[in-house]
A and B are shown apart, each in its own frame.
Chain A
């Protein structure tokens, strides 16, 4: 499955006994996972089991929530993500993230790219334009917006906004891409477009994607992680290669979930 070249820049992530609390309540406990480089790892599980929280802990976006406490270990390549001396800005530059709700900046489409690119040290105007166009082509949005780059990004439809956010993350050439239900606000056609692009991006990034769409997980993922929540918070019930998890899961909870019998 791993189609990636040896010199590919993307990195693997691991978590060890990762536990996350909001105040005194645990969102998930003891999550130990391998996220292989250049593969697509899908997180599935019912609402509220901690998938978004898990994703946000990987780029330490959880630092922004005052009540949130993360313990355990996360690595990105050789980097200890949770170490106190880790530079979070540098960390987040290696990891792109797409949120459940599209969040383009309330500026023009062009500025949505120019602002982060400049911050990442891209000074040349020509290079900014070229990378903007390439990223917009990657998500199939270029033809829709090429004539209105100066217009506010808020004038786009929800699906277009989400693809813009994906393109904005891609333009920064991250090593890892975290996607939180990127297709939940999209119609089936846009959703299929995003899915196609994710597959065409395979081998360029390490992808972690949260999805409620089991068919989608099955189509695009290399590995699947099944989250489940009970009284003590979320946990990982089972994880493994996509076929193993969908065809012969070991845990009865997983078997029932992938057959669509609850959740």
Chain B
């Protein structure tokens, strides 16, 4: 029997235990760093961001002008990345979660490889994308190479998130479907997959977040051309590469680097809001 005074203390730590002070302190520190980051970014970037910044091309190596072509390239890269990630990712996660038994050898090897891939630093994906997509397949430094490289990078995360979502669908739903004489493929796509919508949206948000933040994988694959792209075979600079370039290589580029960062964060925030509304549309809670 535990002492009565401890009965309501689930972790068994007394209220005055030093570790609770440490964890409160750590949480406060994290919050402080985050607040300072936001404040700094807004303070330095807000003067730069206006309508002109969004609709003009950069000039003087980015020290002046805006980010319009960079926004366009970023969206194109993201579109290519998603066009490859979503179908491949959904099919693979359905294969892993629904169509193979848990102890299946191929499934296990696939899962292990995905976990290993998820831990690979993005610069390695950049080098791989450069060798494989840009030169091996002859796509050159292009939006296509960049988008496909990003797809390779976020696929593991997307697949594992969706797979977990598929596995979380109650077995009783599958039993009902089997008993009604539905084919396994129909059960996977029509019964289980729709119920994993929150996980799919979560996987997309996580994946897009990583993709938009990515620099190292893109420098060697989509390049840093600042012109408006005319097709997916053109080189195009993403926002993240632009921020990196302005910050690291262009003296006097800081203000516009901060401005671009502010736009990037705003886009991420917007995407999150969209995802939440999609979930609400389905009558579901956003995953935390």
| Chain A residues proximal to chain B, CB less than 8 Å | 59, 61, 64, 66, 89-97, 99, 101, 103-107, 115-116, 119-120, 152, 165, 168-169, 172
Contact = CB atoms under 8 A, between A and B. Distances in A.
Nearest to A94: B181
Contact of A119 (B179, B186, B283): B186
Contacts of A116: 177, 180-182
The 9 closest A-B pairs by CB, nearest first: A93-B181, A92-B181, A97-B179, A103-B176, A103-B172, A116-B180, A119-B182, A119-B186, A89-B181
Interface string B80-102: 00000000000000000000010
Interface string B158-195: 00000000000000111111111111001000110011
Contacts of B175: 61, 64, 99, 103
A96 to B, nearest CB: 7
Contacts of B178: 61, 64, 92
Contacts of A165: 176
B172 A107 contact: no
Interface in B225-245: none
A59 B179 contact: yes
Given A66-B101, A107-B194, A152-B283, A119 B183 contact: yes
Contacts of B181: 89-94, 116, 119-120, 172
A104 B170 CA distance: 12
Given A64-B174, A101-B172, A115 B179 contact: no
A95 B190 CA distance: 21
Contacts of B186: 119
Contact of B180 (A90, A101, A106, A172): A172
29 contacts: A59-B179, A61-B175, A61-B179, A64-B175, A66-B101, A91-B181, A92-B178, A92-B180, A92-B181, A94-B181, A103-B172, A103-B173, A105-B176, A105-B177, A105-B191, A106-B195, A107-B194, A116-B180, A116-B181, A116-B182, A119-B180, A119-B182, A119-B190, A152-B283, A165-B176, A168-B180, A169-B179, A169-B180, A172-B180
Contacts of A103: 172-173, 175-176
Contacts of A64: 174-175, 178
Contacts of A96: 179-180
Contacts of B176: 99, 103-105, 165
Contacts of A94: 181
A44 B48 CA distance: 79
B161 to A, nearest CB: 20
A110 to B, nearest CB: 14
A207 to B, nearest CB: 15
Given A96-B180, A168-B180, 5 more contacts: A61-B175, A61-B179, A103-B172, A105-B176, A105-B177
A217 B172 CA distance: 26
A89 B179 contact: no
B183 A89 contact: yes
A99 B195 CA distance: 21
A64 B175 CA distance: 8
Nearest to A154: B283
Contacts of B283: 152
